[in-house]
Structure 1
Amino acid sequence: MGVRCSKFSLCWWPSHIKSNLHDLSDNDDDGKRNEKDPWGGFSEYSLDQLRVATSGFSPDNIVSEHGEKAPNVVYRGMLEDDRVVAVKRFNKSAWPDSRQFLEEARAVGQLRNERLANLVGCCCEGEERLLVAEFMPNETLSKHLFHWESEPMKWAMRLRVALYLAQALEYCSSKGRALYHDLNAYRILFDQEGNPRLSCFGLMKNSRDGRSYSTNLAFTPPEYLRTGRITAESVVYSFGTLLLDLLSGKHIPPSHALDLIRGKNFLMLMDSCLEGHFSNDDGTELVRLASRCLQYEPRERPNVKSLVTALSSLQKETSIPSNVLMGIPDRSLSSKETVSLTPFGDACSRRDLTAIHEILEKVAYKDDEDVANELSFQMWTNQIQETLNSKKQGDSAFHARDFSKAIDCYTQFIDGGTMISPTVYARRCLCYLMNDMAQEALGDAMQAQSISPAWPTAYYLQAAALFNLGMDNDAQESLKDGTTLETRKYRN
Structure 2
Amino acid sequence: MGARCSKFSFCWWHSHLKPSLLDSSDLENGEKNAFPPFTQFKLEELKAATNGFSSETIVSEHGEKAPNVVYKGKLNDGRWVAVKRFNKSAWPDSRQFMDEAKAVGSLRSERLANLIGCCYEEEERLLVAEFMPNETLAKHLFHWENQPMKWAMRLRVALYLAQALDYCSSKGRALYHDLNAYRVLFDQDGNPRLSCFGLMKNSRDGKSYSTNLAFTPPEYLRTGRVTPESVVYSFGTVLLDLLSGKHIPPSHALDLIRGKNFLMLMDSCLEGHFSNDDGTELVRLATRCLQYEARERPNAKSLVSSLLPLQKETEVPSFTLLGIPDGTATPTEPLLLTPMGEACLRMDLTALHEMLEKTGYKDDEGIANELSFQMWTNQMQDTLNSKKQGDTAFRAKDFTAAIDCFSQFIEGGTMVSPTVYARRCLSYLMMDMAQEAVGDTEKAQLVSPDWHTAFYLQAVAFFSLGMENDAQEALKEATRLEAERNTV
Q: TM-score range by the shorter chain?
A: 0.5 to 0.7
- Report Cα offsets for 1:357-380 as digits up to 9, x if no partner: xxxxxxxxxxxxxxxxxxxxxxxx
Tell me which residue corresponds to 1:116.
112
Tell me which residue corresponds to 2:79.
83
> Is contact 2:114–2:196 with CA below 8 Å preserved after alignment?
yes
How large is the RMSD of aligned CA atoms in angstroms? 2.6
Tell me which residue corresponds to 1:266.
262
Tell me which residue corresponds to 2:201.
205
Which one of the candidate residues 76, 83, 89 is aligned to 1:93? 89
Tell me which residue corresponds to 2:241.
245
Tell me which residue corresponds to 2:166.
170
Q: Distance in 1 between matches of 2:103 and 2:172?
A: 10
Task: Report how far residue 331 of structure 1 moved.
Answer: 2.8
Task: Report how far residue 69 of structure 1 moved.
Answer: 7.5
Distance change (3 Å), C-alpha of 1:226 and 1:46: same
SS of residue in 2 equivalent to 1:185 = coil
> Is contact 1:67–1:73 with CA below 8 Å preserved after alignment?
no
> Is contact 2:245–2:267 with CA below 8 Å preserved after alignment?
yes
Which runs of structure 2 are paired with 1:159-308 in the superposition (5 Å)?
Answer: 159-308=155-304
SS of residue in 1 equivalent to 2:34 = coil
> Is contact 2:118–2:126 with CA below 8 Å preserved after alignment?
yes
- Report Cα offsets for 1:12-33 as digits up to 9, x if no partner: xxxx99xx9xxx9xx9995555
> Is contact 1:59–1:68 with CA below 8 Å preserved after alignment?
no
- Report Cα offsets for 1:319-353 as digits up to 9, x if no partner: 0000001111013699xxxxxxxxxxxxxxxxxxx
Q: Distance in 1 between matches of 2:189 and 2:281?
A: 28
Q: Distance in 1 between matches of 2:326 and 2:277?
A: 32
Q: Distance in 1 between matches of 2:80 and 2:139?
A: 21
Report the TM-score, using the length of structure 1 for normalisation: 0.61
Task: Report how far residue 210 of structure 1 moved.
Answer: 2.7
Q: Distance in 1 between matches of 2:235 and 2:120?
A: 32
Tell me which residue corresponds to 1:5.
none
Instruction: Specify every segment of 5 or more residues in structure 2 that has no aligned partner in the other structure, as ranges.
Output: 1-10, 331-488
Aligned-partner residue type, residue 201 of structure 2:
K
Tell me which residue corresponds to 2:320.
324
Which runs of structure 2 are paired with 1:13-92 in the superposition (5 Å)?
Answer: 34=29, 35-65=31-61, 70-92=66-88
Which runs of structure 2 are paired with 1:257-406 in the superposition (5 Å)?
Answer: 257-331=253-327
Q: Distance in 2 between matches of 1:304 and 1:142?
A: 22
Instruction: Specify every segment of 5 or more residues in structure 1 that has no aligned partner in the other structure, as ranges.
Output: 1-15, 335-492
Q: Distance in 1 between matches of 2:142 and 2:44?
A: 37
> Is contact 2:27–2:109 with CA below 8 Å preserved after alignment?
no
Which one of the candidate residues 133, 138, 150 is aligned to 1:154? 150
Aligned-partner residue type, residue 101 of structure 1:
F
> Is contact 1:37–1:112 with CA below 8 Å preserved after alignment?
no
Which runs of structure 2 are paired with 1:335-484 in the superposition (5 Å)?
Answer: none
> May I ask how many residue pairs the two structures share in their alignment?
314
Deviates more, 1:56-65 or 1:110-119: 56-65
Aligned-partner residue type, residue 296 of structure 1:
Y
SS of residue in 1 equivalent to 2:231 = helix
Percent identity at matched positions?
A: 79
Tell me which residue corresponds to 2:128.
132
Deviates more, 1:260-269 or 1:31-40: 31-40
Q: Distance in 2 between matches of 1:104 and 1:331?
A: 32
- Report Cα offsets for 1:412-463 as digits up to 9, x if no partner: xxxxxxxxxxxxxxxxxxxxxxxxxxxxxxxxxxxxxxxxxxxxxxxxxxxx
> Is contact 2:63–2:195 with CA below 8 Å preserved after alignment?
no
Distance change (3 Å), C-alpha of 1:267 and 1:143: same
Q: Distance in 1 between matches of 2:171 and 2:62?
A: 31
Q: Distance in 1 between matches of 2:25 and 2:203?
A: 30
SS of residue in 2 equivalent to 1:324 = helix
Query: 2:102 aligned with 1:144, yes or no?
Result: no
Aligned-partner residue type, residue 162 of structure 1:
A
Q: Distance in 1 between matches of 2:281 and 2:65?
A: 39
- Report Cα offsets for 1:263-282 as digits up to 9, x if no partner: 10101110011011111100
Tell me which residue corresponds to 1:438.
none
Task: Report how far residue 128 of structure 1 moved.
Answer: 0.8
Q: Distance in 2 between matches of 1:73 and 1:210?
A: 13
> Is contact 2:112–2:193 with CA below 8 Å preserved after alignment?
yes
SS of residue in 2 equivalent to 1:106 = helix
SS of residue in 2 equivalent to 1:313 = helix
Distance change (3 Å), C-alpha of 1:69 and 1:288: closer
> Is contact 2:160–2:193 with CA below 8 Å preserved after alignment?
yes
Aligned-partner residue type, residue 97 of structure 1:
D
State which structure, 1 or 2, has the greater radius of gyration over its C-alpha atoms.
1
Task: Report how far residue 38 of structure 1 moved.
Answer: 3.3
